[in-house]
């Protein structure tokens, strides 16, 4: 059996495609770099982090964008006729006054690992844009055309426009072509495919919250009209009909289904195997209950599907409830390399599983300056939307232990470095070493930022020597806390126990749609040059345990 989620932690909006015997899956990254991870599998069960599509943080400039903006819902497709990979992605620039100002781009590559072409601007007509390659060689872009006018149904309708690859431009203006296959409302995430003479449109409906689902429609003509699948939704966490077109809110916690392990199931993309087996990937979430807070963010799950005799896509078990365990494919199992628990930074390059907000990690993290260490150069405060030195990886379980060995000698109080649990620039906890003018020496203390309100726990401040120190973060379900040691054997607890559930879409007021990260951080708020050396970073997570 395949156990869901196949990609735990912050891995939303999955899009899957096949090239020969290889399967590739891309997900959203929002404000994080490198952008658009691509996972690879031979059997749809074992997945490895293979590459990233966006690695130029000047060409794709995300600096100063608030949390949850940036790269939304990439569409990864492979055009067999051209032997070319396409990625369509949007850069969400602003959601002020619910205008959703987005720019959509397309890039191409012969090899999934690149090099990728320079981004070509498509349009700014809505988000979740995707590209369809028709059998006659024509190409179309579908997206959600975001509605801002009073008196019109929110959030809008699916629109489509032809794309001319020779001119690298759209042909005319996008036209509305689909308003959904249910009355759940909040339609988004359109994907067009073609099979046996029919064009199929797959969408997400209900909002990317607890009423989320996958729906389909079909037509004999690419422009429609499209008929609804009579069994919509085809995948969801909350079966049954609901009439929510009047409510543009995406979260809708009242639709939480206690009978389902996977919540928020929707935003799907399917792939057909050479033997005609069909699998669909979709986002899902596993909340703390009763808080209904998803600390791990939106994750990627997979479902086994089948085509009916009358040409509709269904879950293979005949239901439409997303399952935590799914039958495997008939493909031979192919193990893949996993992200290591222990990184001693002995390699010549930084691991591809490290991320940083709004810039490439290599801008401030160097594994060559001192062999066997990663040297992190300090920049602005962790609250900044500009240049922040946080070297992080995705939290994949709420049962984890994170440890690092650090050498750092702060010289002024604006110097600090340490370990961080980070949701966004307004929500994090940070165990840091810094220079205390009060004590006249280096010290350890914990800082918490909760929806923008900063608390420094000076009552638990500890003076420390300027020698190597071990920092540790424990995440045990709802409880998270820090410890420290000189010898990696005898640890002392520092600071209070924090509520893990607060690091979530549902609690954080300034960001949404992402997930919690853990990592190393350094700040030099004077000259942006003082650094900390980390000898190792250890991440041990128990992904077999349920969130609750």
Cis peptide before 46, with omega less than 30 degrees from 0?
no
340 HSE (CA, 13 A, CB side): 12
Query: CA angle, corner 443, sides to 440 and 445, nearest 5?
Result: 135
CA distance 336 to 127: 33
**Catalytic annotation on 227?**
no
| 257: its two tokens | 């289904």
CA distance 449 to 461: 17
Query: CA angle, corner 505, sides to 499 and 448, nearest 5?
Result: 40
| Backbone φ, ψ for residue 30 (5° rounding) | 55, -120
Query: Cβ–Cβ contacts within 10 Å for residue 463, how many?
Result: 12
Cis peptide before 461, with omega less than 30 degrees from 0?
no
| 125: its two tokens | 């007509």
- Length of the chain in terms of residues written: 548
**Catalytic annotation on 13?**
yes
CA distance 86 to 109: 7
Which is the catalytic residue, given 128, 188, 343, 407?
Answer: 188
CA distance 246 to 239: 19
Q: Which of 213, 205, 148 is nearest to 178 (CA)?
A: 205
CA distance 521 to 41: 32
Q: What are the residues facing 304 on neighbouring strands?
A: 279
Residue with tokens 């240049």: 387
Q: Which of 2, 507, 7, 541 is nearest to 287 (CA)?
A: 507
DSSP secondary structure, 278-324, as one string? EEEEEEEE--BTTTTB-TT-SEEEEEEEEE-TTS-EEETTS--B--S
Q: In this structure, are residues 181 and 152 in contact, taking their beta carbons and an 8 Å threshold?
A: no
- Residues 6 or more apart from 393 whose CB is under 8 A from it? 339, 353, 354, 355, 517, 518, 519, 539
Active-site residues: which are they?
Answer: 13, 188
């Amino acid at each position: 059996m395949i156990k869901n989620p196949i990609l735990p932690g912050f891995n939303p909006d999955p899009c899957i495609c096949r090239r020969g015997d290889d399967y590739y899956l891309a997900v959203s990254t929002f404000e994080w770099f490198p952008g658009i991870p691509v996972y690879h599998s031979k059997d749809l069960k074992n997945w490895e982090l293979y590459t990233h599509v966006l690695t130029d943080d000047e060409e794709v400039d995300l600096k100063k964008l608030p949390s949850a903006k940036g790269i939304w819902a990439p569409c990864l497709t492979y055009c067999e006729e051209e032997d070319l990979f396409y990625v369509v992605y949007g850069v969400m620039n602003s959601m002020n006054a619910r205008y959703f100002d987005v720019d959509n781009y397309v890039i191409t590559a012969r090899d999934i690992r690149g090099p990728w072409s320079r981004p070509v601007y498509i349009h700014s007509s809505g988000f979740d844009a995707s590209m369809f390659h028709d059998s006659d060689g024509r190409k179309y872009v579908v997206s959600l055309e975001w509605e801002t006018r009073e008196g019109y149904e929110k959030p809008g309708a699916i629109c489509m426009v032809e794309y001319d690859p020779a001119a690298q431009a759209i042909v005319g203006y996008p036209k509305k072509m689909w308003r959904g296959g249910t009355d759940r409302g909040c339609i988004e995430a359109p994907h067009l495919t073609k099979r046996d003479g029919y064009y199929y449109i797959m969408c997400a409906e209900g909002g990317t919250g607890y009423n989320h689902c996958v729906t389909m429609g079909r037509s004999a003509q690419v422009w429609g009209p499209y008929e609804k699948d009579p069994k919509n939704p085809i995948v969801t966490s909350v079966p049954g009909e609901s009439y929510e077109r009047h409510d543009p809110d995406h979260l809708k916690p009242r639709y939480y289904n206690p009978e389902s392990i996977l919540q928020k199931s929707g935003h799907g993309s399917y792939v057909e195997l050479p033997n005609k087996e069909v699998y669909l990937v979709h986002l899902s979430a596993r909340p703390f209950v009763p808080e209904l807070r998803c600390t791990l963010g939106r994750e990627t799950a997979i479902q086994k599907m089948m085509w009916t005799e009358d040409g509709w896509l269904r879950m293979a078990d005949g239901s439409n409830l997303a399952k935590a365990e799914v039958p495997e494919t008939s493909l031979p199992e192919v193990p893949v390399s996993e992200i290591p628990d222990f990184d001693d930074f002995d390699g010549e390059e930084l691991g591809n599983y490290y991320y940083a907000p709004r810039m490439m990690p290599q801008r401030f993290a160097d594994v060559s300056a001192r062999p066997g260490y990663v040297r992190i150069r300090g920049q602005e405060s962790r609250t900044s939307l500009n240049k922040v030195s946080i070297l992080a990886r995705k939290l994949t379980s709420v049962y984890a232990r994170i440890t690092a060995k650090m050498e750092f000698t702060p010289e002024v109080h604006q110097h600090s470095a340490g370990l961080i649990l980070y949701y966004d620039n307004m929500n994090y906890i940070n165990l840091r070493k810094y220079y205390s003018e009060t004590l006249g020496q280096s010290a350890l203390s914990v800082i918490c930022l909760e929806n923008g309100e900063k608390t420094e726990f000076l009552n638990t401040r500890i003076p420390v020597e300027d020698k190597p120190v071990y920092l540790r973060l424990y995440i045990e379900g709802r409880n998270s806390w820090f410890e420290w040691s000189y010898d990696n054997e005898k640890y002392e607890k520092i600071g209070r126990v924090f509520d893990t559930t607060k690091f979530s879409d549902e609690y954080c007021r300034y960001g949404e749609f992402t997930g919690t990260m853990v990592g190393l951080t350094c700040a030099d708020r004077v000259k942006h040059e003082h650094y900390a050396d980390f000898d190792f970073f250890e991440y041990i997570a128990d992904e077999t345990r349920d969130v609750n």
